[in-house]
């Protein structure tokens, strides 16, 4: 079923079902309204039949009077002969043979109540023009003072009246109406629901084809939505309104043309709904309109205008901006004084001139002072701590602010020098102490090794020698790391960059640590590029970086997980990434993890000194790269990014 609905035949079927459902809903709704208006729910069928027949006969009687008394030609009423009686009971006119037969006035007419009494009012200045004809009760005839007269019309059903349509049609319509007066609401509900479901289905399959996911908007999709509605719906609506005005009236003379004219308008609306449904699916309902395009152009123009004005304002010196603002506001004030000053123009002009003489010089001087302070602030923000603000000519708070900036510059210079001196002393202290510790530590390591090699029957001596050797090696590695991190952070470490293939670093690291990763229960997943990716780096320093990173992976990664080593090309260069799942919760921020002596193992139960990531970050930055750590839950990710070395690059 779904495949069929996606075809052209299925869409046509849904379209026709929707159209006929709406038409039938409208027809039955009109019928229900007509039955309510005609009293199908308040009168019996006999009362309804008699009332309709009486109204029809009254209309025939009026036509007879209008034609005969209005000096028109005699008119034959289909199915009837008739007699027209005056107020004095004399026969005025007749039509048909049966009207003058012997049974005239017999029970045939009286029994059927076809004798109707009328009062005719004529215009005062033209007795041939009938103003109105009303039906009256013969037992209570009306009396008028304008010369109106009472008449009677007797109607006789002819022998050929069996073929007279109204008298055969109205009883059948009334009987059918009484049979359907309650069922009609069920039919309205049925066809309304059918129309709704078919309309929704038609909107769903619009723009779709069987077996294909993409949309096929159709030829009208490129036409802007508002333009499409303007070119189709507006002319059709105006044409329909003119049709209603042409057939304005009541009853079938108005309802039938109105309904027939509404059908093509509804077909047009349904077709437009299909096009709008496709636009909604493609999310182009608003974007594909002339109004949206015009507004977008206007907004872009205004944005460009504001950007240009902002650029001009930013790049115009403060003094010139102040002067221009004074000129513009002064001109505006002068314009208001000249055009709206009235009798006080001279007084206002004098006050305006006095105001400008009094206020313009201080404002210009304030702008000059602000410009000096602005330049001093810019110099201070750019790192120039030696510049001073010239306080000559400055007054009041401007002078005080300039002096504060000068003092601030000196204070910052002193703080920076003190910070540099402290860092230098710290680095020198670490380097000197490390060198001083190396000599005795070397002796301790050598003698502990000699003790361990000497034959000894006491197992305690052998155990003590092993502990001494193990901790001596740990202390040696700590001193070497301290020396290296101090040199790297101070820039005193020698770096010899050369073109290197980034793929090799990842592959070699995975190969060198394959056994340790296996022992730790980890699986390395290496993703490299098929072609060489060249960067400028020092192979020795890069190996130390990867050694620290892989050592941390073996120490802190969760056993039974994978370690991902990826190489990716970005817009800024090359990124080598190592990702693993931490065994312990990572409660530290990435910035804290790269600090010295900070370890991911808070309990400090594993081997390490907390300098590995700090050394790696310093070595990478020393080679012109960037080192970044990110933590997402238990996921630890280290990224090493370097500029891509292009062929022929001589860096």
Question: Which CATH number does the domain housing residue 578 bear?
Answer: 3.30.565.10
Give CA separation, 130 vs 211, 250, 293, in Å: 75, 23, 65
Residue 401 is assigned to a structural domain of this protein: no
C-alpha–C-alpha distance, residues 368 and 363, integer Å = 9
Domain C-terminal end among 327, 356, 378: 378
Nearest to 499 by CA among 642, 645, 624, 641: 645
Residue 216 is assigned to a structural domain of this protein: no
Q: Which element (helix H / strand E) includes 142?
A: none
Place of tokens 């005193």: 492
Nearest to 552 by CA among 506, 593, 500: 593
Residue 560 is assigned to a structural domain of this protein: yes
Residue 160 is assigned to a structural domain of this protein: yes
373 and 502 both lie in a single domain: no
The dihedrals phi and psi of 388, each to the nearest 5 degrees, come to: -125, 150
Domain C-terminal end among 130, 147, 164: 164
What is the per-residue DSSP string for 458-490? -HHHHHHHHHHHHHHHHHHHHHHHHHHHHHHHH
Residue 550 is assigned to a structural domain of this protein: yes
Give the bridge partners for 81, in sequence order.
156
371 and 506 both lie in a single domain: no
Query: Cα 105–106–108 angle (5° rounding)?
Result: 110
Residue 364 is assigned to a structural domain of this protein: yes
Place of tokens 């110099």: 379
C-alpha–C-alpha distance, residues 621 and 642, integer Å = 10
Residue 484 is assigned to a structural domain of this protein: no
Query: Cα 313–319–323 angle (5° rounding)?
Result: 85
- Cβ-proximal residues to 490 (8 Å cutoff; 6+ apart), any chain: 423, 424, 427
Contact 197, 18 (CB under 8 A): no
Sign of CA dihedral 589, 595, 601, 604: negative
Domain C-terminal end among 360, 378, 396: 378
Residue 56 is assigned to a structural domain of this protein: no
638 and 503 both lie in a single domain: yes
Domain that holds residue 368: 316-378
The dihedrals phi and psi of 225, each to the nearest 5 degrees, come to: -60, -50
502 and 371 both lie in a single domain: no
Q: What is the mean pLDDT of each run of 10 residues along the chain (651 residues)?
A: 75 88 89 85 83 80 77 60 78 71 44 63 60 73 71 74 62 83 91 91 80 71 78 73 63 62 77 81 80 88 84 73 81 82 79 82 79 73 67 72 73 76 71 70 77 77 79 74 65 76 89 90 89 87 86 88 90 87 76 53 46 77 85 86 76 52
Q: What is the pLDDT of residue 190?
A: 94
Place of tokens 């314009």: 335
Total domain count, the chain:
3
Contact 153, 84 (CB under 8 A): yes
Q: What is the pLDDT of residue 107?
A: 38
76 DSSP 8-state letter: P
Report the 10 Å Cβ neighbour count for 355.
12
Contact 265, 195 (CB under 8 A): no
Give the bridge partners for 199, in sequence order.
none
C-alpha–C-alpha distance, residues 250 and 193, integer Å = 30
Q: What is the pLDDT of residue 211?
A: 67
Report the 10 Å Cβ neighbour count for 533.
22
């Amino acid at each position: 079923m779904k495949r069929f609905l996606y075809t052209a035949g299925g869409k046509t079927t849904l379209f026709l079902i929707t159209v006929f459902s709406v038409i039938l809903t409208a027809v039955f709704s009109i019928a229900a309204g007509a039955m309510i208006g005609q009293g199908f729910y308040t009168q019996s069928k006999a009362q309804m039949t008699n009332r309709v027949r009486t109204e029809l006969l009254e209309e025939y009687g009026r036509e007879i009077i209008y034609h005969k008394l209005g000096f028109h030609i005699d008119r034959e009423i289909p199915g009837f002969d008739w007699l027209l009686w005056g107020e004095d009971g004399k026969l005025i006119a007749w039509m048909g043979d049966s009207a003058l037969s012997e049974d005239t006035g017999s029970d045939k007419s009286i029994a059927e109540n076809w004798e109707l009494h009328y009062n005719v009012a004529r215009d005062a200045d033209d007795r041939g023009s009938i103003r109105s004809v009303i039906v009256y009760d013969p037992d209570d005839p009306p009396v008028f003072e304008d010369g109106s007269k009472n008449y009677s019309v007797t109607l006789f059903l002819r022998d050929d009246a069996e073929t007279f349509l109204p008298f055969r049609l109205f009883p059948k319509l009334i009987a059918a109406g009484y049979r359907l007066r309650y069922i009609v609401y069920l039919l309205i509900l049925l066809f309304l629901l059918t129309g709704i479901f078919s309309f929704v289905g038609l909107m769903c399959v619009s723009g779709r084809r069987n077996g294909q996911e993409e949309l096929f908007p159709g030829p009208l999709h490129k036409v802007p939505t508002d333009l499409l509605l303007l070119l189709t719906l507006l002319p059709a609506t105006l044409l329909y309104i003119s049709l209603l005005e042409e057939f304005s009236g009541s009853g079938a003379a108005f309802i039938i043309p109105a309904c027939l004219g509404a059908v093509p308008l509804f077909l047009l609306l349904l077709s437009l709904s299909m096009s709008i449904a496709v636009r909604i699916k493609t999310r182009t309902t608003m974007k594909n309109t002339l109004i949206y395009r015009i507004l977008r152009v206007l907004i872009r123009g205004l944005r460009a205008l504001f950007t240009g004005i902002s650029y001009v304002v930013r790049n115009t010196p403060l003094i010139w901006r102040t002067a221009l603002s004074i000129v513009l506001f002064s001109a505006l004030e002068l314009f208001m004084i000249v055009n709206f000053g009235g009798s006080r123009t001279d007084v206002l002009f004098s006050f305006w001139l006095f105001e400008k003489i009094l206020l313009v010089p201080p404002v210009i001087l304030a702008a000059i002072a602000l410009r000096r302070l602005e330049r001093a602030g810019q110099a201070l923000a750019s790192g120039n701590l030696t510049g001073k603000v010239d306080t000559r000519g400055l007054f009041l708070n401007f002078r005080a602010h300039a002096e504060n900036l000068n003092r601030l510059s000196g204070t910052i210079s002193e703080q920076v020098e003190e910070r540099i001196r402290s860092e230098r002393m710290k680095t020198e202290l670490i380097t000197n102490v490390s060198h001083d510790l190396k000599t005795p530590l070397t002796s301790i390591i050598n003698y502990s090794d000699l003790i361990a090699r000497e034959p000894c029957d006491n197992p305690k001596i052998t155990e003590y020698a092993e502990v001494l050797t193990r901790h001596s090696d740990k202390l040696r590695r700590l001193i070497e790391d301290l020396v290296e991190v101090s040199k790297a952070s101070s820039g005193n470490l020698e770096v010899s960059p050369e073109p290197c293939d980034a793929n090799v670093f990842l592959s070699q690291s995975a190969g060198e640590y394959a056994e340790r990763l296996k022992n730790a229960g980890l699986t390395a997943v290496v993703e490299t590029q098929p072609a060489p990716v060249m960067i400028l780096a020092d192979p020795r320093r890069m190996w130390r970086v990867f050694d620290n990173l892989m050592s941390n992976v073996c120490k802190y990664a969760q056993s039974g997980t994978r370690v991902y080593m990826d190489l990716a090309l970005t817009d800024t260069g090359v990124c080598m990434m190592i990702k693993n799942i931490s065994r312990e919760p990572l409660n530290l921020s990435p910035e804290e993890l790269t600090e010295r002596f900070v370890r991911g193992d808070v309990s400090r139960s594993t081997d390490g000194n907390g300098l590995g990531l700090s050394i790696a970050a310093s070595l990478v930055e020393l080679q012109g790269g960037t080192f970044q750590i990110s933590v997402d839950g238990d996921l630890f990710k280290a990224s090493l990014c370097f500029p891509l070395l292009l062929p022929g690059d001589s860096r």
